[in-house]
Amino acid sequence: MTLALQNYQVSIGARQIVQPMALTVQPGELLAVLGPNGAGKSTFMKGLCGLRPAQGLAMIGGVDLLRATPFQRSTMVGYVAQDLAHLSVLMTVFELMLLAQSGGRHSWRVANENFVRAEETLKILGLARFANARPITLSGGERQMIALALALVRRPKLLLLDEPTSALDLANQLQMLDVVAAYTRDFNIVTLVILHDMNLATRYANKALVLDRGRALPVGPCRDVLTPAMIAEIYGVHCKVVEVDEGRFTAIYPLSLRR
Please give the full DSSP string across 77-132, using - where no structure is assigned. Answer: EEEE-S--GGGGSSS-HHHHHHHHTSTT----TTHHHHHHHHHHHHHHTT-GGGTT
Asked whether residue 169 falls in the same domain as residue 52, the answer is: yes
Question: Is residue 108 over pLDDT 90?
Answer: no
200/248 same-domain check: no
The Cα–Cα gap between 31 and 206 comes to: 6
pTM for the predicted model, two decimal places: 0.95
Q: How far is CA 226 from CA 17, 41, 83, 184, 236, in A?
A: 23, 16, 28, 22, 13
CATH number at residue 132: 3.40.50.300
Q: 134-163: per-residue pLDDT in tens? A: 999 999 899 999 999 999 999 999 999 999
136 and 155 fall within a common domain: yes
Q: Say if residue 107's pLDDT is above 80.
A: no
Tell me the pLDDT tens digit for each residue of 71-104. Answer: 899 999 999 999 888 888 889 999 999 989 886 6
Mean pLDDT for 126-134 is 96
In this structure, are 96 and 75 located in the same domain? yes
- Gap between the Cα atoms of 206 and 191, Å rounded: 10
Q: pLDDT category, 246, cuts 50, 70, 90?
A: confident
- Please tell me whether residues 90 and 216 are part of one structural domain: yes
Q: 198-236: per-residue pLDDT in tens?
A: 999 999 999 999 999 999 999 999 999 999 999 999 999
- Say yes or no: 254 and 171 in one domain: no
Same domain, 150 and 193: yes
Instruction: Give me the pLDDT at residue 247, please.
Output: 85
Q: Would you state the pLDDT for residue 158?
A: 98
Mean pLDDT of the chain: 94
Q: Are residue 40 and residue 137 in the same domain, yes or no?
A: yes
Same domain, 146 and 29: yes
* pLDDT, position 113: 87
Same domain, 257 and 189: no
Q: Which domain holds residue 250?
A: 227-259
One-letter amino acid of 254: P
Mean pLDDT within 151-179: 95
Residues 64 and 94 in one domain: yes
Given this model, what pLDDT does residue 106 score?
Answer: 59
53-78 b/e with 16+ CB inside 10 Å = b? ebebebbbeebebbebeeeebbbbbb
Q: Cα–Cα distance between 211 and 199 in angstroms, integer?
A: 17
Q: Average the pLDDT over 53-67 and give the result.
A: 96
Number of domains in the chain: 2
98 and 150 co-located in one domain: yes
Chain Cα centroid distance, residue 155? 15
Backbone angles phi, psi at 225, to 5 degrees: -95, -45
Query: How many other C-beta atoms lie within 10 A of the C-beta of residue 236?
Result: 11
Q: What is the pLDDT of residue 72?
A: 92
Q: Are 35 and 217 in contact (CB under 8 A)?
A: no
